[in-house]
Structure 1
Amino acid sequence: MASKSLFYLNTLFILLLSIFCLKSSSSSLLDTETDYTRWVSWNVHNHQKRAMLRAKSTNQAPGADGKLVLDDKLRQAEMNSVRVNVSQDGTGDFKTIGEAINSIPPYNTRRVIIAIKPGVYREKIFIPRTLPFLTFLGDWSEPPTITGNDTASVSGNDGKPLRTYQSATVAVDANYFVAINMKFENTAPHVIGTRQGQAVALRISGTKAAFYNCSFYGDQDTLYDHKGLHYFNNCFIQGSVDFIFGSGRSFYENCHLNSIAKKVASLTAQKRSNSSLASGFSFKDSTITGSGLIYLGRAWGDYSRVVFSYTYMDKIVLPQGWNDWGDQRRDSRVYYGEYKCTGPGSNLTGRVTWARVLTDEEAGPFIGTYYVEGDTWLISP
């Protein structure tokens, strides 16, 4: 009899515990949704507040001609710009890009325009933090190509694998970098099923960097948008697996994103690792084409953030649109938004439930160069 009573007590305890856990889970989910809604509301109001401050600053800036005044460091650098020429035939100041970079004294404080003649430059380029204000200027009709084929598995000088970070053909740690009419390339192919095949064409780790009419060719991990404020205008970016990735806060405007995936891959892998980071990728007036089937993005970071606005999406975009990288906890944390996109791949019918169709207000913070605070550092190419 005592045994039977004990059985009923245990059963009752388990039942009460299950109800408590269910309520706690529902409460936790509700709290998460509430926090998420609060963040969206805060983001909209913060954007509106900053817009008002920008308008006020513009009206008060003497001689600004409708634009905010450049930050002091950049203004000083632009006033004292110099130009050097690189040509492989010996008619310039230098034959290689590396030689031109090495000629610049450390802690440079003026804009150095490196005008690069057409050609294929087989160089591995690194621009350290001590060399800000550099510009690579190519020929519009025949852009020069900087090419390499390192992968994450290749051994460096120390005998250890380079890893993704050091596989880049061109790596920029310096701030205020600009590239105009350039091709950045990594020719290493991605072989499905192999590891450490990451092969970066360009890594940008400095802040306040801009790319105009540039092309980025690669396969796996083409463009490492590592960190900082970045602007890409009229650029062509090609790859297969995660071919735009990193923790940058970047605005891509009028860009062509071309997949060469053989099966299923992802266009972006944005790594926003906590809710307080202001990072994320925003694409506006762009085009998505190519081969294979692709997700618009997969969540490399728990709070990954990517927005596509006014973008044409071809049929290669998977109906689900987005991927949580196998971690369902990210579904309530990521910010994946679409706004007034077109094309067969923009059909929202099969989208994952945690993707967002943005309202006009919600899209507002992401559809201008103010998203990357460009008013004080973007200059005409």
Structure 2
Amino acid sequence: MGSQQSKKIFPETFSMKAKAFIPAVSLLCFWVLLGLGTSKFLQSENKGSELRGYISWEDLTVAKNVVRGSQEYLTPSKAGDASRVIVVDKNGRRDSVTIQGAVDMVPHNNSQRVKIYIPPGIYREKVIVPITKPYISFIGNQKYVGATVISWSDKASDRYANGTEVGTFRTATVRVDADFFCATAITFENTIVAVPGEEGQQAAALRITGDKAMFYRVSFVGSQDTLNDESGSHYFYKCHIEGTVDFIFGTGRSLYQNCDIRSTSKKFGSIAAHHRDHENDDTGFSFLNCNIGGTGKVVLGRAWGAYSRIIYSKCYIDDVITPAGWDDWKDTARQSKVQFGEYNCRGKGAERRGRVPWSKSLTRDEVKPFLGIKFIYGDKWLRLNTNKINHTMVHSFSS
């Protein structure tokens, strides 16, 4: 506001000013009220912009509304939530018969959270969430986690009609290129069963290149290269991930917390393969409080890139890990550059007496940057209380 100067009112002008006082006050009140309304409007707009900048539990929930006539509606689980809800139904009774069709309904460059509810069932389709469609949620039925499955079966050695090889990065059943994506109670599956070491058997269930994504109680099922954590910052919380060789791989900066990680290898394999070409690259995989088990004898990680970074902290590791624990990708020069570490893990597979000497048993100070969501800058884009999960996550739905 600008400064105001005091002025004297002389007798001869008092009458005129008195006559003008009432309309002036009325006009002043009008502008004040308009200003307050505008202020509230701007605050609302700013609040909306702020909401678009983070992921919360609300972005992973929908609630069943009352039946209106013969139609049952799904709505956001909170009255103040302006999110749009799109419902998939293979029988054609809702908004879309396919998941991709539901994604296609979202406008390009949208700035509003769109929740796609996917009822239990097996959806045989490849799905792409393009970079131009941020703020999308895939929501399954929390009461029947694992009952909503998106499934496909491309492998790297497959060929298109023109003879071009599919390649690893195009095998994903679901590809997410957009930012602020989140999912819950969904299984991403690639049904190819790969024999470790067999050429062209890479087959991803999910490929994620979008930034700031969250997966809660989501399953990733495959064998070789199950989860392509390609790029961006991601939070995997209470997820199930299984495979044989490099079944978590990519160049992402991701936190895997309280996840169930299962090797399905019969003989040998590897859990993670992280790619990091330069020491200053701000990427890596951090596994925190995870339960690691399954079959076969696998390594904790492989140095896909010269500066690969993989850290396991406070994990329970069953007897599925080779004594050496880590692999240099047949490049001894990487041994002095990689950042492979373990901290306060337990279980037979956590025994470090046979570990390669270039892996580290980290100290408390060394591991501190990897122990929470700050590792993925989640304090800037996640608004969660993982110690007290919102009870609204457990809604029941009809299919």
Give the one of 121, 134, 137 matched to 1:135: 137
Please, which runs of 5 or more residues in structure 2 have no aligned partner?
1-47, 60-80, 385-392, 394-399
Counterpart-to-counterpart distance in 1, 2:270 and 2:120:
32
- For 2:315, the equivalent position in structure 1 comes to 311
* Counterpart Cα distance in 2 of 1:105 and 1:298: 40
Q: Secondary structure at the match of 1:74?
A: coil
Relative to total residues, which structure has the larger helix share, 1 or 2? 1
What do residues 279-319 of structure 1 show as CA deviations (whole Å, max 9, x unaligned)? 10000110111111000001000000000001011111111
Q: Which residue of 2 aligns with 1:227?
A: 231
Q: 1: distance between equivalents of 2:247 and 2:306?
A: 19
Corresponding residue for residue 122 of structure 2: 120
| Cα distance in structure 2, aligned partners of 1:192 and 1:306 | 21
Deviation of 1:133 after TM superposition, in Å, equals 0.6
1:207-249 CA-to-partner distances (Å, cap 9, x unmatched) read 1000000000000000000000000000000000100000000
Q: In structure 2, how many angstroms separate the alpha carbons of the residues matched to 1:337 and 1:70?
A: 39
Provide the residue aligned with 2:289 in structure 1: 285
CA distance in 2, matches of 1:159, 1:245: 27
Partners of 1:70 and 1:376 within 8 A in 2:
no
Specify the SS of the correspondent of 2:382: coil
Residues 71 and 377 in structure 1, CA contact (< 8 A), matched pair in contact too:
no
| Counterpart in the other structure of 1:151 | 155
Verify: 1:168 aligned to 2:172, yes or no: yes
Amino acid at match of 2:125: E
Count of residue pairs the alignment pairs up? 313
Aligned partners of 1:247, 1:161: CA distance in 2, in Å? Answer: 23
Name structure 1 gaps, 5 residues minimum: 1-68
Contact 2:139-2:186 at 8 Å conserved across structures: yes
SS at match of 1:363: helix
TM-score scaled by length of structure 1: 0.79
2:185 to 176, 181, 203: 181
Match of 1:74 in 2: 53
After TM superposition, the structure 1 stretch with the greater mean CA deviation from structure 2, 256-265 or 205-214, is 256-265
Equivalences for residues 349-364 of structure 1 within 5 A: 349-364=353-368
Match of residue 58 from structure 1: none
- The equivalent residue for 2:86 is 84
Residue in 2 that maps onto 1:262:
266
SS at match of 1:252: strand
For residue 177 of structure 1, report the CA deviation from its aligned partner: 0.5
The farther-off stretch of 238-247 and 95-104 is: 95-104
Relative distance call for 1:375 and 1:76 in structure 2 (3 A) is closer
CA RMSD of aligned residues (A): 1.8
322, 325, 329: which one aligns with 1:325: 329
Matched, 1:369 2:373: yes
Q: What secondary structure does 1:109 align onto? A: coil
1:252 is matched with: 256
Per the TM alignment, residue 109 of structure 1 is displaced from its structure 2 partner at its CA by 1.1
Once the two structures are superposed, the pairs formed by residues 99-118 of structure 1 within 5 Å of their partners are 99-118=101-120
Give CA deviations for 1:258-288 in whole Å, capped at 9, x if unaligned: 0011211110000011111111000011011
Q: TM-score, normalising length from structure 2?
A: 0.76
Percent identical: 43
Query: C-alpha separation between the residues in 2 aligned to 1:249 and 1:74?
Result: 19
Is the 8 Å Cα contact of residues 70 and 377 (structure 1) preserved in structure 2? no
Does the C-alpha gap of structure 1 residues 76 and 193 become closer, same or farther in structure 2, counting only changes over 3 Å?
A: closer
Q: State the alpha-carbon separation in 2 of the partners of residues 202 and 151 from structure 1.
A: 13
Give the Cα–Cα distance (whole angstroms) in 2 for the partners of residues 165 and 76 of structure 1.
27
Mapped to 2, the partners of 1:183 and 1:222 lie a distance apart of 12
Q: What secondary structure is seen at the aligned counterpart in 1 of 2:353?
A: coil
The one-letter amino acid paired with 2:107 is: P
- Of Structure 1 and Structure 2, the greater strand share is in 2
Q: Deviations over 1:66-113 (max 9, x none)?
A: xxx995742699764211111223332111101111111111111000
Residue equivalent to 2:280 = 276
Alpha-carbon contact 1:169-1:200 (below 8 Å) kept: yes
Q: Match of 1:231, SS?
A: strand
Q: Which has the larger radius of gyration?
A: 2
The amino acid that maps onto 1:100 is A
Counterpart for residue 204 of structure 1: 208
**Paired residue for 1:95?**
97
Question: Cα 1:286–1:193, aligned 2, differ >3 Å: closer, same or farther?
Answer: closer
Work out the CA distance in 2 between the residues paired with 1:129 and 1:251. 22
CA distance in 1, matches of 2:55, 2:302: 41
Quick one: distance in 2 between partners of 1:311 and 1:121?
Answer: 33
Given the superposition, is the C-alpha separation of residues 222 and 75 from structure 1 closer, same or farther in structure 2, using an over 3 Å criterion?
closer
Change (3 A) 1:71 1:307: farther
Change beyond 3 A, Cα 1:330–1:71? farther
What is the CA–CA distance in structure 1 between the aligned matches of 2:311 and 2:279, rounded to whole Å? 16
* Structure 1 residues 140-171: Cα deviation after superposition (integer angstroms, max 9, x where no partner): 12231000000011113543111010000000
